[in-house]
A and B are shown apart, each in its own frame.
Chain A
Amino acid sequence: MNTLPITPSQTVGPFFAYGLTARQYGYDYTSLMDGMLIEPRENRGKIIYITGCIIDGNGTSVSDAIVELWQADAQGQYATEPIAYPPNHATFTGFGRFGTGTTANHEFLFTTLKPGFTAEDSAPHINVILFMRGSLRTLYTRLYFSDEPEANSRDTFLNSIDPDRRSTLLAIKRTDGHYQFDIRLQGPSETVFFDL
């Protein structure tokens, strides 16, 4: 039963960097998580690279956004053990965070594992959490993989989405092996966002 009103959301603002992504932006403060969820040399599953931009209604990439990933490991398991500091990349926790202010074209960059299947009716996917100046509420979306057409066709959640919009959730595998996942806030290819 609901007895207490939820604390309202507010924008993360443009100046989150030294609080949430200090190391990435060069501030003298530790970061609990970053864009490298696992070191490529760790042999814990298939290493993948995810990159993309947040694109606003003018087609401009957003330079003051923060992207978080939360995902299962290669066996489809979400981490339940406490995350340790300093981050121990041999222990895959599946949570990453990256600000778009330090890269060319304001991209986010993640090194992670290809997630496994979390359920029979679910294709490999990553939960994506997004904050930025100009966004008053937490934005949630999901990343699926373009090279999993068979699994995607069986995914109950993906199939519940308007077929015309499903492609907005697909990270496209590039020829260099990286996955490209651009998030469009508005326009004809507006990304599907979820209300939790």
Chain B
Amino acid sequence: MELSSPQSDALSTHPAHLSPGYKSTILRSPTRPLLLVPEQMKNLRMPVFGESCLGPFDNDLTKNARRNGEPIGERIKIAGQVLDASGRPLPNVLVEIWQANAAGRYIHKAEIHDAPLDPNFLGAGRLLTDAEGRYSFYTIKPGAYPWGNHYNAWRPNHIHFSVIGHHLDQRLVTQMYFPGDPLFAYDPIFQSVPRHARELLIARFSMDWTEPEFALAYEFNIVLNGRNQTPFES
């Protein structure tokens, strides 16, 4: 079996494991070359999630945690398609998201940023892609927030995505960013991605999907591995 470091793959869109500008990678990234695995391991089918996993507002973060009113902030729609690298739509993919509120505050107990919490916003949602691999969330546009990586460090507005595709090598966690963010140049997590691939993390404003008198829309497509996989019978 061949050993190779994916960090040297010039065509890769992924960040290197070790990306010293993001300080936490220094003690947490593997130092030995990763082991390349046989195709049958990559192609191992992942669990299938059923509609019964979803609640009625799981894809609407403006509704799924309401207590006494509307969440505060700019209501937006995030929609797109999950595809494999061959362009095939991936139906029934579990997409889970989490994010800060409009003030840049996570509801997590360890969060120390002193921006206000929103009693009507949790910031978590999920859905299954439809037969064409499409998905759509309503949420509140997240705010920027400071973090401890370096002096005056601020994360650009972003939404975390967890995606469980059809095969083991289609397990992806990523972050979606918003177009034109002035913090891109200063954020080591965004900058960890090879320059040629950074735009893949930036959603595109969509006038077509923007809903009159309701919400601006952003399109964010997600492409999972699939380059080498053998087609399977569905």
Contact = CB atoms under 8 A, between A and B. Distances in A.
Contact of B37 (A20, A62, A131, A196): A196
A140 interface: yes
Contacts of A20: 96, 98, 162
Interface stretch (A41-49, A82-90, A170-178): A82-90
A75 interface: no
Nearest to B107: A18
A2 B228 CA distance: 8
B22 A134 contact: yes
Given A19-B124, A20-B96, A29-B124, A196 B41 contact: yes
A95 interface: yes
A13 interface: yes
Nearest to B197: A8
B174 A9 contact: yes
A190 interface: yes
B160 A30 contact: no
Interface stretch (B27-35, B130-138, B178-186, B208-216): B27-35
B108 A18 contact: yes
Contacts of B227: 2
Nearest to A32: B53
A39 to B, nearest CB: 18
Interface string B61-103: 0001100000000000000000111110000001011100000
B35 A192 contact: yes
Given A136-B16, A185-B27, A6 B96 contact: no
B189 A5 contact: no
Interface in A153-182: 157, 160-161, 165
B1 interface: yes
A109 to B, nearest CB: 19
Contacts of A25: 109
Given A4-B83, A57-B27, A83-B50, A196 B45 contact: no
Interface string A19-31: 1101001011110
Contacts of A117: none
Interface in B43-60: 44-55
Nearest to B55: A30
B178 to A, nearest CB: 14
B206 interface: no
Contacts of B193: 8, 10
A193 B223 contact: no
A127 B45 CA distance: 12
Contact of A10 (B51, B109, B201): B201
Contacts of B42: 196
Contacts of A193: 30, 32, 34-35
A83 B17 contact: no
B17 A135 contact: yes
A194 B52 contact: no
B120 interface: no
Contacts of A196: 37, 41-42, 168-169, 225
B4 A194 contact: no
Contacts of B31: 186, 190
6 contacts: A7-B172, A9-B15, A10-B15, A19-B160, A83-B49, A190-B30
Interface of A: 1-20, 22, 25, 27-30, 32, 56-58, 60, 62, 64, 68, 70, 78-85, 93-95, 101, 127, 129, 131-140, 157, 160-161, 165, 185-186, 190-196
Interface of B: 1, 4, 6, 12-17, 19, 22-32, 34-38, 41-42, 44-55, 64-65, 83-87, 94, 96-98, 106-111, 122-126, 160, 162, 168-169, 171-175, 189, 192-194, 197-198, 200-201, 221-225, 227
Given A136-B15, A194-B37, 12 more contacts: A7-B222, A8-B194, A9-B15, A58-B27, A68-B171, A94-B47, A127-B168, A136-B25, A136-B189, A138-B172, A186-B28, A196-B225
